[in-house]
Chain A
Amino acid sequence: MAESPAFESPVVRSYEFSSGGPLMLTDASPTTKWLVRGEVGGAAAERLDAPFGSSRDAGGGALVLGSRPGEWIVLGPADAVASVVAGLDGLDSSEFLTALDWTHGRALFLVTGTDAPRMLEKVCSLDWSDAMTPDGAVASASVAKVTCDIARHDDDGTPAYMIFCDRSFGQYLFDALIDAGNEFGLSVGPAGP
């Protein structure tokens, strides 16, 4: 099998990094991410166990996000993601199931901080209050006019959001998020998975 080419983030401009602040934006695009599509209520759905709108810790740092009806994103450390995806191989099911390595195709940004919901509300029409989108919630919506998957995965009690978009929109969306976060004192963290 051919080796995957080295990952290149869609975020190519340079920014002044900060190691900490009340509101952080980080480029986490190199994180391994797979897209799985199957049937609602099928064997894969049962195995992945993350219905549309919810997420599940699949062990070893891997997360399964129920991003759409019959569609999941599996992300995290490469070996943990591989073992979740490999678990779909032997399923006794006639459903049409696809699993695709999406690592190079999608940008992933993290927004972390108590003001993160207020910042997101500037660029996305969903209700980001705790009651509507608690820790673990997953949704798809337009963020600054880009169709994104968004998953809330709090960091030790601090609201944190993962925002996925097509890599070709990555640089634009990164800049749009910086713009939206400026009034809350947003800083850009060093990139990394």
Chain B
Amino acid sequence: MLLVPCPNCGPRNSADLRYGGESHARPDPATATPQQWRGYLYLRDNPAGWLRENWYCRSGCRRWFALERNTATNEFRNPPAPGDKRGGKA
């Protein structure tokens, strides 16, 4: 079982959350090139190691948040502070 540290609810079974994938800044659609837009939509870094990713606490607080997970060990670090709006669907 993966215990995801939700900033509002505390450690939660990952079954209570929805995985939102890698957390990337969204380019400005007005100025992004098609290559940049395609990269944002489809290309992932997929590292074996630390990765910043989005999670949605669907059965708990219903908030999006971003934090780092080590994809090789499933350790988590740097969850946002409660009420901090950092992260989410950036």
Instruction: Give the interface of A toward B (CB within 8 A).
Output: 40-41, 52, 68-69, 125, 139-142, 147-148
Cβ–Cβ < 8 Å partners of A141 in chain B: 12, 16, 59-60
Checking A69, A142, A148 against B61 with a beta-carbon cut-off of 8 angstroms, the contacting residue is A69
**Contact of A142 with B83 at beta-carbon distance under 8 Å, contacts A68-B62, A69-B63, A147-B59 already known:** no
Tell me if B58 counts as interface (CB < 8 A to partner A): yes
Cβ–Cβ < 8 Å partners of B61 in chain A: 52, 68-69, 140
**Which residues 19-54 in B have Cβ within 8 Å of A in the complex?**
none
Nearest chain A CB to B45 CB, angstrom units: 30
- Chain B's interface size range is 10 to 19
**Contact of A147 with B58 at beta-carbon distance under 8 Å, contacts A125-B13, A125-B16 already known:** yes
Cross-chain contact B8 with A52 (CB below 8 angstroms): yes
Cβ–Cβ < 8 Å partners of B59 in chain A: 140-142, 147-148
Nearest A residue to B63 by beta-carbon distance? A69
Docked CA distance A140–B16 (Å): 10
Tell me if B15 counts as interface (CB < 8 A to partner A): yes
10 further interface pairs, Cβ-Cβ under 8 Å (given A125-B12, A125-B13, A140-B61): A68-B60, A68-B61, A68-B62, A69-B63, A125-B15, A139-B9, A140-B9, A140-B60, A141-B12, A141-B59
Cross-chain contact B8 with A69 (CB below 8 angstroms): yes
Cβ–Cβ < 8 Å partners of B63 in chain A: 69
Docked CA distance A23–B62 (Å): 31
Checking A40, A41, A68, A142 against B16 with a beta-carbon cut-off of 8 angstroms, the contacting residue is A142
Docked CA distance A125–B13 (Å): 7
**Contact of A69 with B15 at beta-carbon distance under 8 Å, contacts A140-B61, A147-B59 already known:** no
